Structure 1
Amino acid sequence: MTFITMQNISKTFNGVKALNQVELSLNYGEALCLAGQNGCGKSTLIKILSGVYQPDEGAQIQIGASTYSKLKPEESIAKGIQVIYQDLALFPNLSVAENIAINAYREFGLVNKRQQYEIAQNVLESINASLDLNENVENLPVAEQQLVAICRALAQNAKLLIMDEPTASLTAKEVKDLLALVLKLKSKGISIIFVSHKLKEVMKVSDNVLVLKDGNMIGKYPIKEIDEKRLGFLMTGLEIDYQRLPLPDFSAKKNLLEVKNLSRANQYKDISFSVREGEILALTGLLGSGRTELCLSLFGITQPEQGEIFLNGEKLRLNTNRDAIAKGIAYVSEDRMSTGLIMPESIHNNIISAIFNKISDKYKIIDNKKAYKYSDDLIRSLKIKVSDPDLPVNTLSGGNAQRVSIAKWLAINPKLIILDSPTIGVDIANKEGIFRIVQSLSEQGIAVIFVTDEVEEAYYYSHRVLVMKKGRIIGDILPQEVSEEYIEEMIYENTK
């Protein structure tokens, strides 16, 4: 039975069509994957459905028996439409119960604690879930915070859950649990719209996929009639054909980085490995395995309690990240929005932010001509799509913003660059582009370490794979000698 129909949906920003006569239909209990590259119009369509944006004239939106030319946020919520954004928008200093029943426990302006707990407990029981209702949300792991957000939506009588990148920060088991919950919600007649770049996961529970490209609707396809390769082509117009990197002969290359018996309490223990000039090393494992913590120590953000780090044979003492930068070590943060880039600042200013010493005269005044040459050269070489380098970074798509964060560190001419989860929130085409950049860096003799949750990335885009578990390296693997499944089994053994 049809729940929502959207017809002739267009949206224009400053003369540019973000959406052009898009149509969407959704049944009760249907799960729809909304697919497309960054900037294709997915977020705009969701914001029109949730009442944040108003469509151009001629739009028609039908929800149940009601018809609208445009929606207000309160009308959308009243019709049961709830959006769970990637940042979840919870109140971290409030309890689980308070977050779940945030809009449903006031009587005469006063908080009814008993009703608050009853609502929260009833919602959790309805999906066979359990959480400590008194625990502050800030103390919960991401997967449980996401469960709180889902329960909050259900407490407001959600009939449609729109989930933005729901599996981006989850472990394999947490992803499995989330997908099982989605199936349970579908069985209750609740509709789901997924926005995700992890197509393999959402295709397991989606009934249909709606593909957008450059603001246009390519089509709606039953999941049973499409595979990832076909979907990738529809989204990008490119044939995505994964092929393992050839393994160069590194025997004549010297070790650029050597790590010996590195340990830091409760984070990583007895870590030893080396990376040669031009080698691409993938660091993979479950969330919490110590990957990022190790990288932060290699960049001087934290200090190991035991062990040694050598760069080109020189023993390093990295008290701060400034020490690491001075030695030619760069680190592209996992969270580009809060720690990698200054989002309201210009693209140009972000790119030059680590090289003020190179572009300033003896009076510490920035030479603008030299500065813009640096940023323009990097924008061109990394193929960053930007109309004006003085525009804020937050005007860019996820893929282009990630390229800016890489450009910022390439400006220091690094010997070693560490990329922490470089493709999170990045679409298929931009993911390919980022790894082409990685391969180019390798060909220039720069050593690359990249952290990834995705075995496919580690297997196809690296020369060597280190697998971490519980703070230790449990595997040092050449992809040419094993299967993708072998690495996956090593990561997930005893966790399923």
Structure 2
Amino acid sequence: MTAAPTATSAAETSAVPLLDLRGIGKSFPGVRALHEVKFSLQPGEVHALMGENGAGKSTLMKIIAGVYRKDEGEIRVSGQPQDIGSPTAAQQLGIGIVHQELNLMNHLSCAHNIFIGREPRKLGGLLLDEERINQGAQKLFDRLRLRLDPRTRVGELSVARQQMVEIAKALSFESRVLIMDEPTAALNNAEIDDLFTIIRQLRDEGVGIVYISHKMDEIQRIADRVTILRDGQYIDTVPAASTPMERIIALMVGRELAQTTPDIPDTSGQPVLLEARNIRRGRMVQDVSLTLRAGEIVGLAGLMGAGRTELARAIFGADARDGGEILVRGVKQNIRSPQDAVRAGIGYLSEDRKHFGLALGMDVQANTGLADMAQFVRGGFWLDEGKLAKTATDMVQRLRIKTPGIQQNVRLLSGGNQQKVVIAKWLVRDCDILFFDEPTRGIDIGAKAEIYRLLQDLAAQGRAIVVISSELPEVLRLSHRVLVMCEGRLTGEIPGALATQENIMRLATLRAA
């Protein structure tokens, strides 16, 4: 295991933690989210907070950041008891948070995003002092060693650069505590390295960082200590450097997870369910062909921007194709919309479940039936509430969705449980061909194992599955075959038994001459 940063030794000798939480409790209608939780953060420490989806991590962080008020317990900031009643109160105490879903305005400049609502003014407050605004942002960028023009519009930046602006915004409040929630979810390896460089700089300045992630390799690289929550309760705090990964996983899920290697079936004699020929869409998908047979899981690998999602959306009819044809069970299909694809037996689980996979304002029951509401309508008019409720209840039990009930609004579920609701929706539709785009993004390791088993079960039932994933271990674990894309082209196919990270990456960087 990679050695943890050395700055912790100084942090551990500090008598007064930056943050000290004791006996924290929080309940919502029908749910006890936290009970007797404790957590501490020292100056100059990266303290990872881990747990399965629904363990209480986000609730605890929102209490620290003033979004929620605690029901029980005590919060001390630099040794002083505090009642953090609002995000503004948290900011005044030097607590900043960088959310997984960035909260920036694309039409404004970096500098204006950082200082919005508290911009320096001139001429008696009549005009914004653009020079001071830009100078203030530039100072923050210099501190972070970022080469970034404060006047650049945020919408022109990559996700990684936007995240750096969010960090600068948090530091503009003179934050001594910085909470980072799944900060690498949309970053590639090079961008993760840049982020970790900034985290180490801040740690060396004495900033305490709460780091929430499901990625074990990141915790090994960046964290000093790890606190584990399970089912809303504190489980343990362990040193990152000397605690085996298997031990942390066992603490998270309450059991040892079996590491199973899938038995790769021979599907060469199985019928072809989907054939896509010469699919084209702009520069992102250039003359790509593939076949899917019943009972197989095909991994679609490649670097960000390789065109994997664009290929799936073109096949599914979410984006118009420039050319190519699609056959389902040997019959050519005129797929011009997602409705056409669904009628042909194709389902697509988007990488952005909140925007494209769920109706966030509706409950679990309604979302479960969304892909096939016709089967729940009687006489062409009346909704059969009983049948829909039974179906939703069966899916909650089958997929182990953690929810107080099928009437729970999906917005209130954890990310992993939201993803399970999306899967339930397509299982209700009973599609034979399923595209899973980043199926475990933002999902804890226990829920990942459940989804892996589910995908393998679906393949065993004769469905054809495509898994698009940026996590190569996930591709290697699941795939019977691996297709690799680079810059819109299909650059190779590897049998699952022969696939390695090395030969996948070689094909993923095989640019056109």
- Hey, what does 1:134 align to over in structure 2? 151
Letter in 1 for 2:42: N
> 1:455·1:488 contact (CA, 8 Å) conserved in 2?
no
- Hey, what does 1:476 align to over in structure 2? 493
**Distance (whole Å) between structure 1 residues aligned to residue 395 and residue 18 of structure 2:** 48
- Hey, what does 2:134 align to over in structure 1? 117
- Hey, what does 2:252 align to over in structure 1? 235
- Hey, what does 1:346 align to over in structure 2? 363
Gaps of 5+ in 2: 1-13
Question: In the TM superposition, what whole-angstrom CA distance separates every residue of 1:291-338 from its partner, at most 9, and x where no partner exists?
Answer: 110000111112321222211111222111111111100111111111
State the aligned residue count: 493
**Distance (whole Å) between structure 1 residues aligned to residue 88 and residue 33 of structure 2:** 24
**Distance (whole Å) between structure 1 residues aligned to residue 30 and residue 400 of structure 2:** 25
What is the CA distance between 1:431 and its match in structure 2? 0.9
Letter in 2 for 1:67: P
- Hey, what does 2:321 align to over in structure 1? 304
> 2:134·2:151 contact (CA, 8 Å) conserved in 1?
no
2:442 equivalent to 1:414: no
Selected match of 1:23 from 11, 24, 38? 38
2:201 equivalent to 1:184: yes
- Hey, what does 2:55 align to over in structure 1? 40
The farther-off stretch of 1-10 and 484-493 is 484-493
**Distance (whole Å) between structure 2 residues aligned to residue 24 and residue 354 of structure 1:** 42
- Hey, what does 2:19 align to over in structure 1? 4
- Hey, what does 2:115 align to over in structure 1? 101
Closer/same/farther in 2, CA of residues 243 and 486 from structure 1, 3 Å limit: farther
**Distance (whole Å) between structure 2 residues aligned to residue 357 and residue 17 of structure 1:** 36
> 1:84·1:163 contact (CA, 8 Å) conserved in 2?
yes
Question: In the TM superposition, what whole-angstrom CA distance separates every residue of 1:37-93 from its partner, at most 9, and x where no partner exists?
Answer: 111121122122122222234x33222253225554333211211011112211222
What is the CA distance between 1:14 and its match in structure 2? 4.1
- Hey, what does 2:442 align to over in structure 1? 425
The farther-off stretch of 236-245 and 418-427 is 236-245
TM-score by length of 1: 0.94
2:94 equivalent to 1:77: no
Closer/same/farther in 2, CA of residues 72 and 356 from structure 1, 3 Å limit: closer
Matches within 5 A, 1:76-475: 76-102=90-116, 104-107=118-121, 108-109=124-125, 110-475=127-492
> 1:172·1:286 contact (CA, 8 Å) conserved in 2?
no
What is the CA distance between 1:114 and its match in structure 2? 0.9
What is the CA distance between 1:199 and its match in structure 2? 2.2
Closer/same/farther in 2, CA of residues 122 and 419 from structure 1, 3 Å limit: same
SS in 1 for 2:339: helix
Q: Percent identity?
A: 37
TM-score by length of 2: 0.91
What is the CA distance between 1:388 and its match in structure 2? 2.2
The farther-off stretch of 467-476 and 374-383 is 374-383
> 1:197·1:427 contact (CA, 8 Å) conserved in 2?
yes
2:68 equivalent to 1:53: yes
What is the CA distance between 1:138 and its match in structure 2? 2.1
SS in 1 for 2:383: coil
**Distance (whole Å) between structure 2 residues aligned to residue 300 and residue 441 of structure 1:** 23
**Distance (whole Å) between structure 2 residues aligned to residue 381 and residue 214 of structure 1:** 20
> 2:482·2:499 contact (CA, 8 Å) conserved in 1?
no
> 1:244·1:459 contact (CA, 8 Å) conserved in 2?
no
- Superposition RMSD on alpha carbons, in Å? 2.0
**Distance (whole Å) between structure 1 residues aligned to residue 400 and residue 56 of structure 2:** 21
Which runs of at least 4 in structure 1 moved beyond 4 Å after TM superposition?
69-72
Letter in 2 for 1:79: L
> 2:52·2:252 contact (CA, 8 Å) conserved in 1?
yes
What is the CA distance between 1:391 and its match in structure 2? 2.1
The farther-off stretch of 356-365 and 458-467 is 356-365
> 2:43·2:208 contact (CA, 8 Å) conserved in 1?
yes
SS in 2 for 1:411: helix
What is the CA distance between 1:251 and its match in structure 2? 2.5
